[in-house]
A and B are shown apart, each in its own frame.
Chain A
């Protein structure tokens, strides 16, 4: 994939294609299976899923942009260290901003905001894309990957929150007779849902490809 991306970079694919690549064809969670820990942990509720997805998107866009900007002056030997410093800086900024302006979300996501630093999606995009491409496509790639991450989290949460806690977006859906399956809010339940969604996505993509051919 690395090779393919570099090829595409040389031919200069349209920005729209870069965007849809991130959201759909190379979705970081559903196709690349990156960032499993925050995916399973924050997709137990729709509110957390959207908050986490958009926070990671903000960090991804900023870090991809900054890394593409400095890609030519950073020597190879220290690039990982430089990337981590940049990523950690933006994550801390997002964390402070959430604490100041979205206190509810900051409280419910707690530990997982600082942990975006070690979210492998972000370092993966820095390595695989932003360090080899111009500023604008890199920012768009960050946006696409971030939205792809958000989409996957939302898909998971839409299944897990009603089944696991009988709520959607924190609102009760069913009467008292409904007994939520707490298994769905556990990580094991999350993997189960993720597997089903991935199978569905593969099925749809294969069918689309066959019809296209």
Chain B
């Protein structure tokens, strides 16, 4: 009886403490996420003014969300896509920017939980730059020692490219 009471009491106090911390940090974390997304997109599309969300594609398992990006006066600039491939440390959120011909403008990460110093090498400019200008990614070199992380990025980029091609096909059909 005493065992359960003590353990339950400790769990209760700790839960209360966490609830308190969470109530303070949750809005700030959400705000940080929105800010990170905005910053990332404006790095990929410096002239972007408007983001229109594109329809979901239930057949594309890795796709999270996609936007048609427009500049001043509604001039189309390309597509911003967020995909969620599985890396070594769980799901990562990868943002890929495409031009109107479905070629990559740049890739960046919203979040990831890859092994620091090993898997996180996929964040390095020298790795990410390999994707720029491509619409297929067979030629991208994986990072040795971080194959799982590299493969996740490549598969994510591939899923994003397929999504953009679907949207482009839908548009030209309409």
Contacts and interface: CB of A to CB of B under 8 A. Distances in A.
B111 A185 contact: no
A74 interface: yes
Interface residues of B, number: 30
B2 interface: yes
Given A82-B7, A96-B21, A108 B145 contact: no
Contacts of A111: 89, 113-116
Interface in A9-47: 41-42, 44-45
What secondary structure prevails in chain B residues at the interface with A? helix
B112 interface: yes
Contact of B17 (A93, A107, A186): A93
A78, A85, A101, A111: residue with the most chain B Cβ atoms closer than 10 Å? A111
A34 B24 CA distance: 34
A209 B44 CA distance: 61
A92 interface: yes
Interface in B9-25: 10-11, 14-15, 17-18, 21-22, 24-25
A77 B7 CA distance: 11
Nearest to A110: B113
Contacts of B6: 70, 73-75, 78, 82
A119 B2 CA distance: 29
B28 interface: yes
Given A81-B7, A85-B11, A111-B115, A100 B29 contact: yes
B3 A42 contact: no
Given A96-B29, A110-B112, A48 B7 contact: no
Interface in A83-116: 85-86, 88-89, 92-93, 96-97, 99-101, 103, 107-112
Contacts of B3: 75, 77-78
A158 B24 CA distance: 35
Given A99-B25, A111-B89, A41 B115 contact: yes
B32 A99 contact: yes
Contacts of A107: 111-112
A82 B115 contact: no
A186 B145 contact: yes
Nearest to A165: B117
B36 interface: yes
A93 B7 contact: no
A193 B10 CA distance: 41
14 contacts: A44-B117, A48-B117, A78-B3, A82-B7, A85-B7, A85-B10, A86-B14, A93-B17, A97-B21, A100-B24, A111-B115, A112-B116, A186-B118, A186-B145
Given A75-B2, A185-B117, 5 more contacts: A70-B6, A92-B21, A99-B32, A108-B120, A110-B113
Interface of B: 2-3, 6-7, 10-11, 14-15, 17-18, 21-22, 24-26, 28-29, 32, 36, 89, 111-118, 120, 145
Interface of A: 41-42, 44-45, 48, 70, 73-75, 77-78, 81-82, 85-86, 88-89, 92-93, 96-97, 99-101, 103, 107-112, 185-186
